[in-house]
Amino acid sequence: MKKLTLTVTDENYRCARVWATQCNSSVSALVRNFLEILQNLPCPGVDAPSASTGVSAPTPLDNPGI
């Protein structure tokens, strides 16, 4: 498991803490759940070739080291 460091505004952090508390959860769990949902959504621009290069945008699994 990788660690992730984010910089957010005080207001965003406060809202996330309130949301997490109301859901009997943590901010880390909320972010983890969001990232799990995100990987099941289509990546914008993947099927459309780039106008300038003609190369499709990489999918999230093209570079697993990130």
- 32 lies in which domain range? 8-36
Does the residue 23 lie in any domain?
yes
Residues 59 and 46: beta-carbon distance below 8 Å: yes
Which of 19-23, 27-31, 40-44 shows the lowest mean pLDDT across its residues? 40-44
Higher pLDDT, 66 or 14: 14
The answer to whether position 17 is within a domain reads yes
Domain assignment of residue 25, yes or no: yes
In a domain, 19, yes or no: yes
Q: Residue 16: inside a domain, yes or no?
A: yes
pTM across the whole model? 0.58
pLDDT, residue 60, reads 53
Q: What are the φ and ψ backbone dihedral angles of 56, each rounded to 5 degrees?
A: -70, 150
Asked, for residue 32, whether it belongs to a domain, the answer is yes
Q: Is the pLDDT of residue 36 over 80?
A: yes
User: Based on the structure, what is the number of domains in the chain?
Assistant: 1
Contact in structure between 59 and 45 (CB atoms under 8 Å): no
